[in-house]
Amino acid sequence: MNTASSQPSNRILIFDTTLRDGEQSPGCSMSPQQKVVMARALAELGVDILETGFPASSQSDREATAMIAAELRKTTLCVLSRCLPADIEASARSLENAARPRIHLFLSTSPLHREHKLRISKDEVLESIHKHVSMARGYIDDIEFSPEDATRTEPEFLAEAVTVAIAAGATTINMPDTLGYTTPGEIRELFERLIGTVPGAREVVFSTHCHNDLGMAVANSLAAIEGGARQVECTINGIGERAGNCALEELTMALKVRNSYYNADTGIDTRHLVPTSQLLTRLTGMQVQRNKAIVGANAFAHESGIHQHGMLRHRCTYEIMNPEDVGCIESQMVLGRHSGRAAVEHRLRALGYFLGEEELNLVFAQFKDLCESQRVVNDADLQALMQDAVESDGYRLAAMTISDHGQDAQAQVELSDPNGDRVIETAQGEGPVAALFAALAAATGVQLILDSYQVHSVGIGADARGEATLSVRYQDIEYEGSGVSEDIIEASALAWLDVANRLLRQRNDAGTAALTA
Ligand code: KIV
Ligand code: ZN
């Protein structure tokens, strides 16, 4: 258990909620298999606590939690639970095989939430906290409690709620800034006050959980640390509800680069930051803005002449961290017919995939097959192999032919459907891409109305590939997908299927019927 006394006072625990708060944000949903792949990468990254989902809310979260629990034995695995007996039971069941389980209970404490959401009094809130934290302690020793919307709660009542939670057995007290409303000065003072005045506060870990509505999630989390927080809740790429959560990569690099200022360390191996970020992008389709700190494509690019000149003289003139320290390394490795298992495994790990023995055997066999048809196998090819391995539940492109007579084009696609059966469909359209998308729609039964469709080249020379990215809007949520191939039309088909499979997965989870984006 990660308790206040088991960690040196300047060691910050990283609580990753990419798979829960991040995943519950629009367009970011992941299947249980995808969550396992992501969880392995997060464990390698060195997160201390991994929130895997909200078991009472979906079968998919229960499955994902159980699958991750069977594999990850060193990381604390946490699940979210409302203050309801049925939620606590579902949480305890899904963590049955976890080596280090934690239940994270939450209940709103702010006047707005009490009056308009829960319609309960202050006394009822306190009773519920006491009853449900005690109940959860009956199953598991490691219990976190969050007063939801803490930063808009009356200070005296918040202190009362925290006092009750600690007395009932909570071992971590988290302060969610649920609406991203607080400021650095305010949150620092909040932590100082609570830790300084609440009975038992020094025996538990205080945690911060900041949303980014005003763009201050990272700044607020750092201020919370200054106020005494020793756990930070964050997500890769800052994904999460609305404007997202505190970005793990920004927070951890701020602590590392400005270590002499914060005097606080994490257990994060920062060399995994970029690969983990890119893995999440591939799994969710959610792109990162180019100028995003730490992991954006431009984070280490120097365009202006003055900067380039300075960089050539001395790197530190315009760089405060080494790209290598965050895992931003161009691959020099070329894989091909003569590459062995170890080389393939090494490259997969650099891409964020950590495979077991059997999985590696399978992917290596597919790699060897691929080498029969192409001279070199690059990162995009390995990612495509992994995508097939991780997302075996969707439509796959088996073959396609396009006949293009100017405006009138015809496309035929052959797909394998989620049951492994073949589906062949033909359609016409104004141009090859329109015909292709019409044939894919006919074969899958999914009508996608595109918001944007872009193609561009990745790599240079003989090994250059085309990458297609597209986004669609479905029930007010934007979904993105991408595909890479030597042939740009095929890349477009892969991108289209990437989005369609995401939508179908989402529909299966939500149990909805009609599907027209
Ligand atoms: O933002 C929030 O309030 C949360 C809680 C459930 C911890 O995510
Ligand atoms: Zn949250």
Q: Which domains does the chain have, with CATH numbers?
A: 13-284 (3.20.20.70), 301-389 (no CATH), 396-510 (3.30.160.270)
Cα dist. 74→47, 50, 71, 125, 232 in Å? 10, 11, 9, 34, 19
| Amino acid (one-letter) located at 422 | R
| Structure-token match 């490691």, residue found | 142
Please tell me the predicted confidence (pLDDT) of residue 516: 45
- Please, which residues have CB within 8 angstroms of residue 376's CB and are 6 or more apart in sequence? 334, 335, 336, 463
Please tell me the predicted confidence (pLDDT) of residue 154: 98
Q: Sheet of 396-405: strands edge to edge?
A: 396-405, 408-416, 422-430
Distance CA 218, CA 251 (A): 6
Q: Is the per-residue pLDDT at 312 higher than 80?
A: no
- Please, which residues have CB within 8 angstroms of residue 143's CB and are 6 or more apart in sequence? 102, 103, 105, 133, 136, 137, 169, 170, 171, 172
Mean pLDDT of 46-74: 96
Distance CA 357, CA 338 (A): 20
Question: With b meaning 16 or more CB within 10 Å and e meaning fewer, what string describes 267-280?
Answer: ebebbbbbbbbbbb
Q: What is the pLDDT confidence band of residue 463, given thresholds at 50, 70 and 90?
A: low
**Which is the closest atom of ligand 1 to the Cα of 20?**
8
Tens digits of residue pLDDT in 468-486: 888 888 777 778 888 888 8
- Percentage of the chain surpassing pLDDT 90? 70
**For residue 25, how far is its CA from the centre of ligand 1 (angstroms)?**
12
Is the pLDDT higher at 513 or at 175?
175
Give yes or no for a contact between 208 and 187, defined as CB atoms under 8 angstroms apart: yes
Tens digits of residue pLDDT in 14-37: 999 999 999 988 788 898 999 999
DSSP alpha helices (H): ranges in 239-321? 248-257, 259-262, 273-284, 305-313
- Ligand 1 touching residue 469 (CB < 6 A): no
Phi-psi region of 304 (alpha: psi -120 to 50; beta: other; left: phi over 0): beta
Going by alpha carbons, the residue nearest to atom 2 of ligand 1 is 178
**For residue 286, how far is its CA from the centre of ligand 2 (angstroms)?**
19
Mean pLDDT of 405-433: 91
Mean pLDDT of 316-334: 82
Average pLDDT, the chain: 91
Q: What angle do CA 405, 406, 409 make, to 5 degrees?
A: 55
- Ligand 1 touching residue 347 (CB < 6 A): no
**For residue 175, how far is its CA from the centre of ligand 2 (angstroms)?**
10
Tens digits of residue pLDDT in 246-284: 999 999 999 999 999 999 999 999 999 999 999 999 999
Give yes or no for a contact between 492 and 468, defined as CB atoms under 8 angstroms apart: yes
**For residue 79, how far is its CA from the centre of ligand 2 (angstroms)?**
13
Ligand 1 mutation target, pool 18, 21, 132, 173, most atoms within 8 A of CB: 21
Q: Is the per-residue pLDDT at 303 higher than 80?
A: no
**Which is the closest atom of ligand 1 to the Cα of 174?**
7
| HEC per residue, 463-487 | HCEEEEEEEEEECCEEEEEEEEECC
Give yes or no for a contact between 363 and 348, defined as CB atoms under 8 angstroms apart: yes
**Which is the closest atom of ligand 1 to the Cα of 150?**
3
Please tell me the predicted confidence (pLDDT) of residue 141: 98
Q: Is the per-residue pLDDT at 507 higher than 80?
A: no
Question: With b meaning 16 or more CB within 10 Å and e meaning fewer, what string describes 15-26?
Answer: bbbbbbbbbbbb
**pTM (two decimals):** 0.86
Distance CA 301, CA 291 (A): 9
Q: What backbone torsions phi and psi does residue 29 show, to the nearest 5 degrees?
A: -70, 145
Q: What is the pLDDT confidence band of residue 466, given thresholds at 50, 70 and 90?
A: confident
Tokens of 504: 């179908």
Going by alpha carbons, the residue nearest to atom 8 of ligand 1 is 21
Q: What is the pLDDT confidence band of residue 176, given thresholds at 50, 70 and 90?
A: very high
DSSP single-letter state for residue 445:
-
| HEC per residue, 16-80 | ECHHHHHCCCCCCCCCHHHHHHHHHHHHHHCCCEEEEECCCCCHHHHHHHHHHHHHCCCCEEEEE
**Which is the closest atom of ligand 1 to the Cα of 211?**
1
- Ligand 1 touching residue 146 (CB < 6 A): yes
**Which is the closest atom of ligand 1 to the Cα of 21?**
8
Parallel/antiparallel/unpaired status of strands 396-405 and 408-416: antiparallel
Distance CA 328, CA 106 (A): 37
Q: Is the per-residue pLDDT at 53 higher than 60?
A: yes
| Amino acid (one-letter) located at 214 | L
Distance CA 436, CA 451 (A): 17
Tens digits of residue pLDDT in 230-255: 999 999 999 999 999 999 999 999 99
**Which is the closest atom of ligand 1 to the Cα of 17?**
8
Q: What is the pLDDT confidence band of residue 92, given thresholds at 50, 70 and 90?
A: very high
- Ligand 1 touching residue 178 (CB < 6 A): yes
| Structure-token match 């894919």, residue found | 440
Q: Is the per-residue pLDDT at 342 higher than 70?
A: yes
Q: Is the per-residue pLDDT at 389 higher than 90?
A: no
Give yes or no for a contact between 252 and 270, defined as CB atoms under 8 angstroms apart: yes
Tens digits of residue pLDDT in 344-380: 999 999 999 999 999 999 999 999 998 998 888 888 8
Residue 273 three-state SS:
helix
Residue 461 three-state SS:
helix
- Ligand 1 touching residue 176 (CB < 6 A): yes
Q: Which ligand is nearest to the CA of 178?
A: 1
Q: Which ligand is nearest to the CA of 245?
A: 2
Distance CA 343, CA 340 (A): 5
Please tell me the predicted confidence (pLDDT) of residue 515: 44
Q: Is the per-residue pLDDT at 511 higher than 60?
A: no
Distance CA 201, CA 6 (A): 15
Length of the chain: 517
Ligand 1 mutation target, pool 145, 146, 152, most atoms within 8 A of CB: 146
Q: What is the pLDDT confidence band of residue 392, given thresholds at 50, 70 and 90?
A: low
Burial of 203 per CB tally in 10 Å (0-12, 13-18, 19+): exposed
Ligand 1 mutation target, pool 80, 82, 109, 174, most atoms within 8 A of CB: 80
